[in-house]
Every structure is written in C-alpha cells, then in structure tokens.
Amino acid sequence: MTERSHGGERALRQISRGLVGLSGDAREVELRQWSLWLARVPAIRRSFIKWSEDFDPLRYNEAASVALLANAASKVGYLALTEYVAIKRRKTRGRPFRKGRCDLWIADGKTERSWAFEFKQHFCFSNVRAETLHQKLDEAVGDADEVDRSEGDKRFGCLIVGARNDVKPTRSFIERMDRLMSEMPMAFRINGGCGPVWLGFKEAG
C-alpha cells in the first residue's frame, strides 16, 4: 500500500467490499490488524440503517462513530472500551497527572497488543483544504499525547471525515478525498452506509 503508481498517486488497496486502504506501512502490525477490525464496519452500518430507518452512526457524530468502531472491534474478538476514565498528563510544564477520559481503547488478546485512541470528526465541504484535515488530525494526536503511555502499547489520533449533508459525494469528490487522506500516515475509506467516510490515523509521540 505504500508503493506509488506510475502516475505518482498512492495505490489503493481493496481490503474488502466496503473497505479501501489508502495509506500505511505494510510492515506495521497495526495495518494488518486494523484492516480486519475496520472491515467489519460496513456490515454494522447496514444493520443500523435497516433497524433505525437510515440512521448511520458514522454520519451522525463522534460519540456514535466511536461506539460503532468499538462494536466492530468486538466482532473480530478484540476487547474495546469507550469514553472510560483514564490517566492523562497536562500540557503544562512538568505535565502533572490528571484524571480524564480516553475515547477508545482496543486490545487484541492473541497478540497482547493494545491501543488508545482520541478522535475528531469533521463534516466537510467539497473544497476542503488539506491543511484543514491535517490540523484536525493533529488536534486528535495532541489529545492522544495527553493519554498516559500506560494506557496502551501505542496511542493514536484519528480523524473521521465525511461530506456535509448538503454535499453530494460524487466520484470526483471521492477521488479528491482519497488523495488528501492518503497523505496521512495511515488512512482508509469505508464505503456503504449513508455515504463514504474516511479515517486517518497518526501515532502520538
């Protein structure tokens, strides 16, 4: 997935019918394990829409999106917690401890690896700038950096992006979003539901 085509664009990787990989290092265990996790999301979106008359959690708000992602993690046998009380460090000098909340924690019992996530969600116009997306992702990474290292083997910020309700996800829009999101260290497009949604990940320092 990290290789580029002759045209200079990142190669897309069809992971499943509803999941497309846009960027990521194939040597990283996260790419392999998260592909299994995120591949479960489209079916859950379909179930919600069938049950609740076109309600798509990934197109609603951050809290609903995180809950859906936790649901998907459990489908592949991962442990998952959302919005739990966690130890965080302040951004001030010395970074003293404080109590806070972590958006999502996931662990794979088989490999004994765990991850702590902080999220931001953004519904964008068709002319959204790359700088806006990177700024939103960096905000999530900043929040993840406040989570104490003891909360997971690695900490990640994640940006969830979808089109505004008044923006039609045309083919050109999807292709443009694929290009913008592929600039992030790891990114996926999740199809289906009430429209495509993009997830971009970046590890906290």
Within a domain: 1? no
Residue 68 forms part of a structural domain: yes
- Determine, yes or no, domain membership for 50: yes
What pLDDT, on a 0 to 100 scale, did the predictor assign at position 87?
Answer: 75
Q: Is position 56 within any domain?
A: yes
pLDDT tens, residue order, the chain (205 aa)? 443 333 334 567 898 889 999 999 999 999 999 999 999 999 999 999 999 888 999 999 999 999 999 999 999 999 999 999 887 776 655 556 667 899 999 999 999 999 999 999 999 999 999 999 999 999 999 999 999 999 999 999 999 999 999 999 999 999 999 999 999 999 999 999 999 999 999 999 8
User: Would you state the pLDDT for residue 8?
Assistant: 39
Q: Are 200 and 184 in contact (CB under 8 A)?
A: yes
Question: What's the pLDDT score for residue 54?
Answer: 83
Largest Cα separation within the chain, whole Å, is 50
In a domain, 4, yes or no: no
What's the number of domains the chain is made of? Answer: 1
- Distance between CA atoms of residues 67 and 51, nearest Å: 16
- Its domain, for residue 99, covers 13-203
pLDDT of residue 33: 96
pLDDT of residue 88: 78
Q: Is 184 helix (H, G, I), strand (E, B) or coil?
A: coil
7 within some domain: no
Q: Is residue 8 part of a domain?
A: no
Q: Which of 25, 11, 67 is nearest to 44 (CA)?
A: 67
Residue 43 domain-assigned (yes or no): yes
Question: Residue 24's closest CA among 196, 190, 192, 181?
Answer: 181
Evaluate if pTM is beyond 0.85: yes
Beta bridge partners of 199: 160, 188
